[in-house]
Amino acid sequence: MDSPQEHLSEFMEKLSSILTELKDDKRVVMISNPQIQKAIESLEVDFRRAKSVVKSSRISPTHDENIEQVIQTLARGLGLVLFASHDVVESTKKAEIEVLRREMMNMNSVNKTNLIMSSDESEFSSYGRGVVEEDDRTTIDVDGIVEEDDRIALDVDEIVEEDDKITLDVDDVVVQIKYGDDELLKCALNGLKSLVLDGMITKEVVHHEDMIPVLFSRLSSSKTDHRLIILRILQALAAQDDEHKEKMAEMGNLSILVKSLGSDLEEQKEAVGLLVSLSDVAAVRRRVGRIQGCIVMLVAIFNGDDQMSSHDAANLLNSLSGNTQYALHMAEAGYFKPLVHYLNQGSDMSKILMATALSRMELTDQNRTNLGQDGAVEPLVKMFTSGNLEAKQSSLNALHNLSASKANIQRLIKSGIVATLLQLLFSVTSVLMTLREPASAILAKIAAQSEVGIVLMKQDVAQQMISLLHLTSPVIQCHLLEALNAIAACPNASKVRRKMKENGAVRLLLPFLTESRNTKIRNGALSLIYVLSNDMQGGELMEHLEQMHLNTLINIISSSSMTDDEKAAAVGILGNFPVSDKNVTDMFMKANLLPILVSILTSSTPTTPHSLAENVSAVLIRFTLPSDKKLQHLSVENGVINVLVKLLTCGSIVAKCRAATSLAQLSQNSLTLRKSRKSRWFSCAPPHPTDSFCQVHDGHCSIKTTFCLVKAGAMPPLVQILQGNERAADEAALSCLATLQQDEIWENGSNLLVKMSCVQPIIKILEEGISLKAQEKSLWILEKIFRVEAYRVEYGEYAQVVLIDLAQNGDSLLKPTVAKLLAQLELLQQQSSYF
């Protein structure tokens, strides 16, 4: 019987010939498949080792056993070559290789570990969540490769079919995991997982086979379902031995594992679960947070819908939060609890680090709210009030960032920081000067909320803020003006505004209109002057503003580079000058203000701020006074009526009210400007167009000559105001309609109002009684209409209920007119007890 060494020599001779033929095979060379090349190179390495054994003459009790192991290694290497090249090598050559491989495998005398593999992946659940069922399994022997119907099957010893099972060698499973195609890889992974879960893989086997590096290598390149099995195997290995965890903690492995955090939900769940298992290794906590995207993905998983994954992500984030840099990365990703923990319980340097980072973060409103809810405001306030200069600076900047949230403003108020901020703002200590900027910014945010701005009004600090305006930097000036505007605009701040005016606030603000190049500062000063001018009576405003200031305001209005808000404030200031002051009107005319205002309204769009149109319409009242027909004509020639009707149609209720006021002033003179219907025999003037005749004014009318409401198309929008739900413009609209019922034309006007369905909305306004003056106008108009018997019959019954109620419960100023109307309706004698 030949010795094992002789068998080895014989096998190597045949193997040498096969290797030479394979390397010279043109098909193998042309295809240049990396798997084939790698398998051949591996076999050559084993071949060279076998040569060394053959040359060795040393005899020992284990010599024959060692030779058998060498033969088995060569057989497996040859099988791997056959497996990798089965689509390339000719059939005859494959048969030759297979025969030699079988001969070599028959030399096996070593008991091998077998593993049972399932052909059904669904039998294997996640580690710790299921068991492997024993039935319906297929046992595969991976010691050999059998060619059958052009398929190569791996077999270790031989193909043994028994109860649908094939037996596999562990070494060959690792080979399959390294080099196998998708189908074989899946079988190998399922088998390995089963063996690991059954506790049949020892620590020594894992180390000897380099199992963990192999699994991570496959994890980086496999399909999703394969990656899930690999992750479950790794979890099982990690649970079995801490040394396995140490091996997995290598940076390359962790990087591969982190990539799975961005995959589908199942893989994500397995990956974050494995990372939690590994997180008790210090190296993992130190390394994993440095991997790009890891913390961001963990925060996203924490905020996700899967409860188990979210819980694991939270545990892992908390494990990593011991590193301050990782805590900062978490905050930047939107997970703030570690940052708040450091603000509360960290060292002084940690607190400053966190506060500084927080001051620089770009936060959403929700982020700011979450930080406030997590308790970030209180420790920052404590840092500011009791810390050193660096702590004050960092905490105040962080509070400034958080103060954009209304909820955090309430927390700041409750913390009592306002008094400290004001003290800092007015301090002359040079060391604290750098803190003024964030302090002024926070105060501006506090003032902007009317419900808490009263805190600043009670402190009576507005005048002190104004006095600081010329002594601070542009940034602080902006914040102070923002705060002052918010304070002055409060409905309950009349006393504050009065004190500001009395102390010369307007004169202190005027230089900013001409001298400041900073748009925000100029706009802030302009807005504050406008707010203060709203309370000025008579010529009080003229005492503060000179001609140069008026010119500045008009230049702002006419400039194309100014914002609509700036123009609105400038026009608003001009609108607060007394309407009857002819000197002011003359100045406006010389400055060519009228066409500028008309142009603004003509070019306005739905996006134009309401305040601009409202303030322009207020100034136009000055140019339509009925006492100055010449000025009225000039206004109409510039297109005033058209823009006023436009405002009636699409303006705000305030703009509608002011537009109706101007139209009423124009319409008062329509009757005197009309031209008689009768032609003059000896007139040389051309005849009027037939459509120019006005049924209301009983003469020839036009927009430009008689300012006629009917010809201007103003009636429909005026009626619409009365029929609408907003009541602020009722009085102005009724005043406008009343101009059509002047003594000479009252019946024509009444007919038109009835035709336009005005009676019912007028009675409704009378009934609602929101405005006494609107009620007076309504009664005046109804009295004219009810002079016509047909209208008394048509509307009398509907009106009498409201009139009787007014007689009983209405204002005493209305009762004389109510009595007159009831008399018209022949109800006075019957209801005389009401008076």
Lookup: tokens for 211: 């199992």
Per residue in 559-602, pLDDT tens? 988 889 999 999 999 999 999 889 999 999 999 999 999 999 99
Position 458 scores a pLDDT of 64
Per residue in 279-324, pLDDT tens? 999 999 999 999 999 999 999 999 999 999 999 999 999 999 999 9
Least confident piece of the model among 37-51, 644-658, 722-736: 37-51
- Evaluate whether 528 touches 516 at the Cβ level (below 8 Å): no
Lookup: tokens for 236: 């099982």
Beta bridge partners of residue 144, listed in sequence order: 155
Least confident piece of the model among 142-151, 193-202, 398-407: 142-151
Instruction: List phi, psi (to 5°) of 126.
Output: -60, 150
Q: What's the chain's average pLDDT?
A: 84
- Residue 59's Cβ-side half-sphere holds a number of Cα atoms within 13 Å equal to 3
Please say if the pLDDT value at position 185 is more than 80. Answer: yes
- Evaluate whether 299 touches 333 at the Cβ level (below 8 Å): yes
pLDDT band at 678 (very low <50, low <70, confident <90, very high): very low
Range list of β-strands (E), 261-323? none
Position 95 scores a pLDDT of 79
Select, from the ranges 3-17, 420-434, 579-593, 725-739, the one with the highest average predicted confidence (pLDDT): 725-739
Per residue in 114-163, pLDDT tens? 333 333 333 333 333 333 333 333 333 333 333 333 333 333 333 333 33
Cα–Cα distance for residue pair 275/272, rounded to 1 Å: 5
pLDDT band at 450 (very low <50, low <70, confident <90, very high): low
Q: Which helix (H) or strand (E) holds 586?
A: helix 582-590
Per residue in 496-544, pLDDT tens? 888 888 888 998 999 998 887 888 999 999 999 999 999 887 678 888 8
* Mean pLDDT of all residues in 77-85: 76
DSSP state of 48: H
Please say if the pLDDT value at position 36 is more than 80. Answer: no
3-state secondary structure of 509: helix
Instruction: List phi, psi (to 5°) of 799.
Output: -75, -30
Angle between helices 265-278 and 251-259 (to 10 degrees): 150
Please say if the pLDDT value at position 816 is more than 80. Answer: yes
Position 32 scores a pLDDT of 64
- Evaluate whether 49 touches 70 at the Cβ level (below 8 Å): yes
Please say if the pLDDT value at position 442 is more than 90. Answer: yes
The CATH code of the domain at 4-110 is: 1.20.120
